[in-house]
Amino acid sequence: MTDLPRYDKTMCNGRWARSRGGSLACFPWNVLIATLAGGASLWGAAAAQEPVWRPIGPFGGGAEVVAVDPSQPTRVYTLTKNSFLYRSDNEGQDWTLIRFPAQQGASAHALVINPSNSKEIWIAVSSGNTRVQGIYHTSDGGLTWIHVKGLSGESVFSFALFPKDPAIMAAGARDGVHLSRDGGETWSSISPIENKELQPVMSLAFDPGDDHIIYAGTPHLPWKTDDGGATWHSIHHGMLDDSDILSLIVNPKQPHQLFIGACSGIYRSENSAAQWTKMLGITGAGYRTYSVAQDPSNPNIIFSGTRDGLWKSSDGGHVWKKTSPHIVKSIAISPADPRKIFLATQDNGMLRSVDGGETITEALDGFADHRLNDVAVDGHSLYVTGAQDLQAWRIAADGFHKGHHAWHKMDFPPVLRGRHIAVTTFNSSVYALGAGSIFRSNDQGTAWKRLTPTAVPATQMAVLSDRELIAGSGTAAFHSMDAGLTWKKLAVQPGMGSIEHIFATPGSRNFVVETVSEFLYYQEGAAAPVTIPLPIRPSEVNDLVLTGNALVAATSQGVYRSVDSGATWKLVTKGIDPGTIASIAAGGEAVFAAQYGKVFRSSDSGESWHEISTQGLDESSILRLAVSPAGRLIALTPSRGVFVFDDENQSQTTVGAAAAPNTAARGSKESK
Amino acid sequence: MKLPKPLAHTASKTAFLALVAISLAPAQNSDFSPAKFDVDLDAGAQLFMRRDDPLQSKILNAKLFGMHVTENLWSHWSLEQSFSGSSLADLTLVNPVGSGFSSRVDLEQHVFKIGFNPVYHFTPNGSRVRPFVTFGLTEEIFAAASEGKTYAAALVPSAPFKSDYKAAFNYGGGVKVRFTERLGLRMDVRGYWGGEPTWGLPPVGSTPSGVLYMPAKGSLLGVDMTAGIVFSFGGGPRAPKPQPRPEPQPEPAKPVATPRTFELSAVQCNPSSGYPGDVFNCTTTLTDSANASSDKITWNVDGSDQSATGAQIQLSNLAVGAHTVKASATDTAATNETANAAPATVTVNELPPLTVTDNAANGNIKFGDTDALSAQASGPSRCDPITYTWSTNIGSIRGSGPNVTFDSSSVEFDAANVFKSETRTATITLTVSDKCGRSVTATPIQIIITKDAKAMRLDDLIYGKGSSRVNNCAKRILLDELQALMNNNPDVEVVFVGHTDENESTRGAKGRPTHLDRERVYNAAAVLTAGTGVCGKADLSRIKVSYAGTTQTSDFRSGFCGTSSRAKSDERKADEIAADDAAAKNRRVEIWIVPKGVAMPAGAPNPVDAPANIVKAKGCPH
């Protein structure tokens, strides 16, 4: 069933957002609809069985490392830039998140599977947080992890196991190479700390036949030791002098053959790195080579993952062919069937090929790590805009089916392309804010109309009704009563700082303008705005909703609430601790708030709260909350996409049930 | 036999008073074994009341002999059969009617009585003294003696004097006093009310003159007073009564009989009072002169048998309150004799409560700061020492005891919002416990930790002398580090601050003036935003720039790229940086990531938007 637009009294008292809604919007149609439908409240119905959070996408984003399980080649692991670990048991058809201690808090660099015991996995990460960075180890396929002592507190960029004895391992850290010969229990630094050329170590490889021979790649060319680290020497003959070594591999069957991916291209050595030969043929930006892979069954087939896509050579590197345009950070070839190739791409998630890299397809279902920017939902669709890849997606709100193919990329006018876009919806129209203008689409994002002329710059927007809009930029705010045909400059306070945000309530003509220094409350019929004395800095207010007769603010210090039109505010502590509230959303009779690791619900307009389940969120942060017109709670996470607090069966019972605003979009601003 | 009137009167009064006194005496139970039946032989006097008639007839008093058989059916009720006979008791007619009679005629006879009576005893069977009352039927037999018959026949042949029978009610009471199991005394006073016998003589007025007449018929009243010896038979078991222990009978086989001593001393507990958790040692002493090896002592506390079987028991974990400790000994040999010790009482008192209060010195701190926590606990000294256990949901606790420190440096904040101000609440729980095994949890302390939004600085980009080219190491910082941070944090701005070394030329190609600080910034911005070649596609509008010239307000931040000691090369000679190049640190671009609302870097307080036309004109620099 489709979410029906809702027009009700509660909606008028619902979320502050840039939205729209005339007087008809305040008619309690929802009561009539709910009565006729005999529906029950979503939350009442949900009480029988606690819902879980279900990720629905959009999928994709940045993948950093990919590896195939050597003993179970259908199993593939991938690690994202933000250290989210996913596993596929069906060769990449879909992915499942494996909870990893450093997820979201570190940059991932290496994932190595023990060839003798594929339940043993080693992951190297770097981070600004010294408690997070280092090496993590699992012995049970990812169920439990150990932060490896001896290297904790070190940012580790590379990792290698000695193939003949996996108890011998090397880690490339910011201060050089570290070696362990006891399975990671103890570590020793084996590179001279005073040699700044030999650090940080971004890539590592053992000679397959001699654990005393180790190759290390740094931003300052490659290095080699033949004596277990006692002495090191630079191995750059034949390379461009200013070469940042990004990857390094040794042919396991012919250890004298090495390949290096560098910022200056791909190099090959046939004499154990004594001399390098640059492999020509890759054009454009393809010389910045992030990864190199060699077909284990045919050494002449070489893949190069570059900033200009995936390149393939079938003749040992003489002739190259580009087979994918996406930036490839890591390549994994199935040991069981070398035609099956998995690619970790910087912006396009996981890709795969089943024909030796000739054709590349997406392998995205369940995989996500892209920074999203905004979410809006109405009765027909849910809209998401991305901050990282500057894209926007739409999914039908008919149950929010999981699956990458349920999402549709949205197209925007040329001026909006490549820009951060904020979205909001009202009465099935979707509004986009970007490039200093407000646009509206009445066909779910296919055709767009610009609503603000050049004279009305808009970096903030609020939609009060179908025809009433607020635009703000700098220290000026504009008001349109005719759907953007004409605009009138609003009265402002003398000395008012630049506008940071506009919080509006769908169906209400009142709205709040947040400036860099204060909050201004514009009330219907008032000649000028009044200052709201919120007891914290405006920059620390993340959200603001009007529910019932209360103003409820989500701030960096907690939930603040006012029941006298903002004249006085009180920090709410009943059922919710002080602490940053990332987002707040009102829907029907309920208000929801997201705090670090927790989600709360209030049934009394924010006066008291109780925690609800976060099962399924897998410790993902919540960037924004929204409530669909059908009363379904939605969470936008910074990296993992949208989660729906529901299950598919329950969605059938929610339509026309709960009183909820007809839009869930927050007040939106254009991100620069 | 005639009793003088005063004597009879005195005897009657004495018997009555004795009966009353005995009846009022306190009952003494279980003096002897209850008797199934009693037999007594008694003797006494028989009295008949004078008849008030013209003949002044009367029956003279006589001695009386008899016996009572009493079946003791219940403790207080019995059935009695009595048999008695008197000595000769003359029927005396003082004024006989008829001619020829002297003034007095005595007709000799015996009076026999057979009675059947229920008897109520005021004390139970087996008592030493048993007063009783009775009411029953008696058959009175007035048996004319041969002398009387002869004398009457001599006087009036036509009116023979013969025996007569009358039924009568008897009533009375008495007291039995037992001296031994079998022997006692009995005193009895019994009245009779029955018909008056005529002995066959004609009544007065109905017979001719000259005939011996009897007065008109009426009732006859009489009294028996007897005393005698009681024999008790068929006694059952004696009712329980604390009695001195009978001396053990000497075994006939032993030539010398020694009495056995088998007893437990009173239970002694040390201490006799304490607190929960204390151990109480209770002891008793068994004295057995015979079979000590087969004796067993058992213990009981508050009615609950204990497993201990010795002369001592240790009691622990007793609840608050008074507890009764008993001991008993059993000779497990054939005799199974038991002895009980006098019990002892152990009192367990309630401990004074363990209390605690706690607080934080500040309660609101910045991320990375500490806050002092203190607690005050009180309890009884006997339960010292008190242990303090602190725990917190976030952060860490340093130290131990009542005064510790909360350290916020390990508090985790939302990793997705590293550039935003954020607060979290630490809830600190203190539990104190004492040696007595008690614990109490203090009111949780809440400390609010605020992480302020602040700018982040990446490693500086290093440039060759006189060069503004972004080398490959710098590109890694821009493309792989900075761009990722910008993607993950769309609300932050990036600030490039360009520097030059004072020894660098201000003249560029063909001698044109050049500003290396600006060029270095422009090239860095172009690498990050150009969107072509290897360059990134970050939003140029998020980049602000500042030109510091030769001013080095901030310290050089080395790190990722550091300096290079690469040998001079023709390939990139303009970018070669020697390790001993002390001025390399001045040829740099600072990279700042500045969140919304946070002050700009000190070296660039007022950065401006990156000049789009200049940066775009550079394309993607090599």
Give the model confidence (pLDDT) of A55-76 as tens digits: 999 999 999 999 999 999 999 9
The answer to whether residue A298 scores a pLDDT higher than 70 is: yes
| Residues making up chain B, counted from first to last | 622
Give A301 to chain B, closest Cα distance, Å: 25
Residues of B in contact with A287 (CB under 8 A): 534
Mean pLDDT within B552-567: 69
- Give the pLDDT of residue A406: 86
- Give the pLDDT of residue B146: 84
Q: Are A160 and A169 spatial neighbours (Cβ–Cβ below 8 Å)?
A: yes
Collapsing DSSP to helix, strand or coil, B363 comes out as coil
Q: Which of B396, B418, B472, B593 to mutate to test the interface with A (most CBs of A within 10 A)?
A: B472
The answer to whether residue B172 scores a pLDDT higher than 60 is: yes
Tens digit of pLDDT for each residue in B10-44? 555 655 555 555 544 444 445 788 888 899 999 99
Is some CB atom of chain A closer than 8 A to the CB atom of B363?
A: no
Q: Given B415, B566, B576, which is nearest A105 (Cβ)? A: B415
Mean pLDDT within A291-298: 95
This model of the complex carries an ipTM of 0.78
Is some CB atom of chain B closer than 8 A to the CB atom of A577?
A: yes
Give Cα separations from B287 to B121, B326, B341 (angstroms).
Answer: 46, 17, 11
- Give the pLDDT of residue A50: 66
Give A161 to chain B, closest Cα distance, Å: 25
Runs of H (alpha helix) within A47-130: none
Annotate B376-417 with DSSP letters as a single string.
Answer: EEE--GGGPPPEEEEEESSSEEES-SSEEEEE-TT----GGG
Ordered strands of the A550-555 beta sheet: A541-547, A550-555, A559-562, A570-572
- Give the pLDDT of residue B29: 47
Give B396 to chain A, closest Cα distance, Å: 14
Give A92 to chain B, closest Cα distance, Å: 25
Which amino acid type is present at position A410? M
Residues of A in contact with B559 (CB under 8 A): 174
Cα separation, B176 vs B22, whole angstroms: 9
Which amino acid type is present at position A538? P
List the structure tokens of A443: 């066909």
- Give the pLDDT of residue A608: 97
Cα separation, B476 vs B472, whole angstroms: 6
Closest CA to A311 of A320, A299, A319: A320
Q: What percent of chain B has pLDDT over 90?
A: 40
Which amino acid type is present at position A385? T
Collapsing DSSP to helix, strand or coil, A662 comes out as coil
The answer to whether residue A244 scores a pLDDT higher than 50 is: yes
- Give the pLDDT of residue B210: 59
Closest CA to A669 of A421, A460, A522, A375: A460
Compute, in degrees rounded to 10, the torsion defined by CA atoms A373, A378, A381, A383: -10
Instruction: Give the residue on A whose Cα is nearest the Cα of B534.
Output: A285
Cα separation, B21 vs B13, whole angstroms: 12
Closest CA to B611 of B462, B496, B459, B504: B496
CB contact under 8 A, A557 and B450: yes
Angle at A390 between CA A389 and CA A394, to 5 degrees: 105
Tens digit of pLDDT for each residue in A612-665? 999 998 888 899 999 888 888 999 998 899 999 964 443 333 333 333 333 333
- Give the pLDDT of residue A389: 66
Question: Among A453-467, B88-102, B360-374, which is the least confidently predicted range?
Answer: B88-102
Q: Are A601 and A566 spatial neighbours (Cβ–Cβ below 8 Å)?
A: no
CB contact under 8 A, B597 and A672: no
Report the relative pairing of strands B164-178 and B183-195 from DSSP bridges.
Answer: antiparallel
Per-residue confidence band for B584, with pLDDT thresholds at 50, 70 and 90: confident
- Give the pLDDT of residue A190: 97
Report the relative pairing of strands A134-138 and A146-147 from DSSP bridges.
Answer: antiparallel
Query: What HEC string does A356-421 produce?
Result: CCCCCEECCCCCEECCEEEEEECCCEEEEEECCCCCEEEEECCCCCCCHHHEEECCCCHHHCCCCC
Instruction: Give the residue on B whose Cα is nearest the Cα of A638.
Output: B416
Q: Which long-range contacts (C-beta less than 8 Å, at least 24 apart) are formed by A121-124? A: A121/A77, A122/A159, A122/A161, A122/A169, A122/A184, A123/A79, A123/A83, A123/A85, A123/A159, A124/A156, A124/A157, A124/A158, A124/A159, A124/A171, A124/A172
Per-residue confidence band for A429, with pLDDT thresholds at 50, 70 and 90: confident
Per-residue confidence band for B234, with pLDDT thresholds at 50, 70 and 90: confident
- Give the pLDDT of residue B251: 63
Runs of H (alpha helix) within B432-482: 472-475
Cα separation, A321 vs A318, whole angstroms: 10
- Give the pLDDT of residue A424: 82
- Give the pLDDT of residue A30: 36
| Residues making up chain A, counted from first to last | 672
User: Any residues with CB less than 8 A from the CB of A151 and at least 6 apart, and which?
Assistant: A134, A135, A171, A173, A178, A187
Of residues B47 and A324, the one with the higher pLDDT is: A324
Q: For the whole model, what pTM was predicted? A: 0.69
Which amino acid type is present at position A592? F
List the structure tokens of A573: 């502590």
Cα separation, B68 vs B226, whole angstroms: 11
Mean pLDDT within A564-575: 93
The answer to whether residue B533 scores a pLDDT higher than 90 is: no
Annotate B268-292 with DSSP letters as a single string.
Answer: EEESSEE-TT--EEEE--EEESS-G
- Give the pLDDT of residue A12: 28
Report the relative pairing of strands A146-147 and A156-161 from DSSP bridges.
Answer: unpaired
- Give the pLDDT of residue B237: 57
List the structure tokens of A135: 């090496």
CB contact under 8 A, B456 and A639: no
- Give the pLDDT of residue B547: 92
Give kind and range of the element (H or E) at residue A123: strand A121-126
- Give the pLDDT of residue B57: 74
Q: Given A200, A539, A596, which is nearest B424 (Cβ)? A: A596
Give A3 to chain B, closest Cα distance, Å: 31
Q: Are A612 and A576 spatial neighbours (Cβ–Cβ below 8 Å)?
A: no
Of residues A502 and B215, the one with the higher pLDDT is: A502
Per-residue confidence band for A505, with pLDDT thresholds at 50, 70 and 90: low
Which amino acid type is present at position B448? I
Note which residues in 215-244 of chain B have CB less than 8 A from chain A: none
List the structure tokens of B259: 């009495």
Q: Given B491, B572, B597, which is nearest A242 (Cβ)? A: B572
Q: Are A407 and A401 spatial neighbours (Cβ–Cβ below 8 Å)?
A: no
Per-residue confidence band for B248, with pLDDT thresholds at 50, 70 and 90: low
Cα separation, A341 vs A345, whole angstroms: 13
Number of H helices, E strands in chain A: 4, 59
The answer to whether residue A496 scores a pLDDT higher than 90 is: no
List the structure tokens of B552: 């080095």
Cα separation, A560 vs A640, whole angstroms: 29
Cα separation, A62 vs A344, whole angstroms: 8
Q: Which of B394, B421, B458, B577 to mutate to test the interface with A (most CBs of A within 10 A)?
A: B421
- Residue B167 DSSP symbol: E
List the structure tokens of B520: 């270095």
Collapsing DSSP to helix, strand or coil, B189 comes out as strand
Closest CA to B184 of B234, B113, B254, B130: B130
Mean pLDDT within B411-429: 87
Q: What percent of chain B has pLDDT over 70?
A: 81
Is some CB atom of chain A closer than 8 A to the CB atom of B26?
A: no
Q: Given A220, A419, A637, which is nearest B566 (Cβ)? A: A220
- Give the pLDDT of residue B414: 85
Give kind and range of the element (H or E) at residue A32: helix A29-37
Number of H helices, E strands in chain B: 6, 36
Question: Among A302-306, A505-509, B99-103, B292-296, which is the least confidently predicted range?
Answer: B99-103
Give A517 to chain B, closest Cα distance, Å: 10
Residue B451: phi and psi, rounded to 5, are -100, 115
Mean pLDDT within A272-298: 90
Computed over every residue of chain A, the mean pLDDT equals: 84
Is some CB atom of chain A closer than 8 A to the CB atom of B473?
A: yes
Tens digit of pLDDT for each residue in B235-244? 655 555 555 5
Per-residue confidence band for A455, with pLDDT thresholds at 50, 70 and 90: confident
Q: Are A592 and A585 spatial neighbours (Cβ–Cβ below 8 Å)?
A: yes
Give B422 to chain A, closest Cα distance, Å: 5
Mean pLDDT within B504-522: 77
Closest CA to A241 of A264, A266, A214, A275: A264
Note which residues in 593-622 of chain A have CB less than 8 A from chain B: 596, 621
Annotate A567-593 with DSSP letters as a single string.
Answer: SS-EEE-SSS-SS-EEEEEEETTEEEE
- Give the pLDDT of residue A487: 93
Question: Among A34-43, A147-156, B460-469, which is the least confidently predicted range?
Answer: A34-43
CB contact under 8 A, A240 and B571: yes
The answer to whether residue A666 scores a pLDDT higher than 80 is: no
Is some CB atom of chain A closer than 8 A to the CB atom of B409?
A: no
Is some CB atom of chain B closer than 8 A to the CB atom of A623?
A: yes
Tens digit of pLDDT for each residue in A144-202? 999 999 887 889 999 999 999 999 999 999 899 999 999 999 999 999 988 888 988 99
Note which residues in 435-464 of chain B have CB less than 8 A from chain A: 446, 448, 450, 453, 456
Give kind and range of the element (H or E) at residue A36: helix A29-37
Q: Are A557 and A536 spatial neighbours (Cβ–Cβ below 8 Å)?
A: yes
Give Cα separations from B230 to B29, B69, B80, B124, B554 (angstroms).
Answer: 19, 9, 13, 16, 134
- Give the pLDDT of residue B572: 47
Instruction: Give the residue on A whose Cα is nearest the Cα of B542.
Output: A672
